Amino acid sequence: MPRRYDPDRRQRIIDAAIRVVGDKGIAGLSHRSVAAEADVPLGSTTYHFKTLDDLMVAALRQANEGFAKVVAARGHLEDPRADLAGDIAALIGDWLAGDRTGVELEYELYLAALRRPALRPVAAECIDGFAEAVARRTDPVTARALVALVDGICLQVLLTGAPYDEAYARELLARLIP
């Protein structure tokens, strides 16, 4: 049987990996589960991603793009006259108001870096990118503290299922800004 030309297969595999993690968590991720979800032969997943870590890196990088798009869409981070705490609090609200499953997935992959060193550079890219955007409005140390606080706020909302309180987040963020 001739080999079928399928230029989108790699992307379909990444999308399938994200769906598998969304449905079954990191523990449910395997080349076999992704191949079944993507409706591709098992050999395709191992051809494009030699290891599960390679596949998870690609999935985390794609998930990080979702947050980067929210940050880019909020041009207020560029305006030095705008309220930085208010802008970041609104950005968190925009992110959490979207597909909550996507946010949960991103954090699940992000936290998987604790046990999977191959994911750490990709997780760091997300942190660094956001910190650089915030540092344009404040100093680098404050920017890092604000990013850490954003992560804490988001994790608390995700873990407790509580509604996001933008006014509360703004107050907390403002306390860190000199």
Q: Residue 69: its pLDDT value, please?
A: 81
What is the rounded average pLDDT for all residues in the chain?
90
Q: What is the DSSP letter of 3?
A: P
- Quick check: 96 pLDDT over 50? yes
> Tell me: the pLDDT tens digits for 24-80?
988 999 999 999 999 999 999 999 999 999 999 999 888 888 777 877 876 768 888
**Can you tell me the distance from the alpha carbon of 153 to that of 178, in angstroms, rounded to the nearest whole number?**
20
Q: Sorting pLDDT into bands at 50, 70 and 90, what band is 3?
A: low
Percent of the chain exceeding pLDDT 70 equals 97
Q: What is the mean pLDDT of residues 80-109?
A: 87
Count other C-beta atoms under 10 Å from residue 33's C-beta: 18
Residue of 128, 124, 123 lying closest to 106 (CA atoms):
123
Long-range residue pairs from 43-50, CB within 8 A, at least 24 positions apart, any chain: 44/9, 44/13, 45/13, 48/9, 48/10, 48/13, 49/13
The pLDDT of residue 74 = 67
Residue 2 has a pLDDT of 46
Domain architecture of the chain: domains with CATH: 1-50 (1.10.10.60), 60-176 (1.10.357.10)
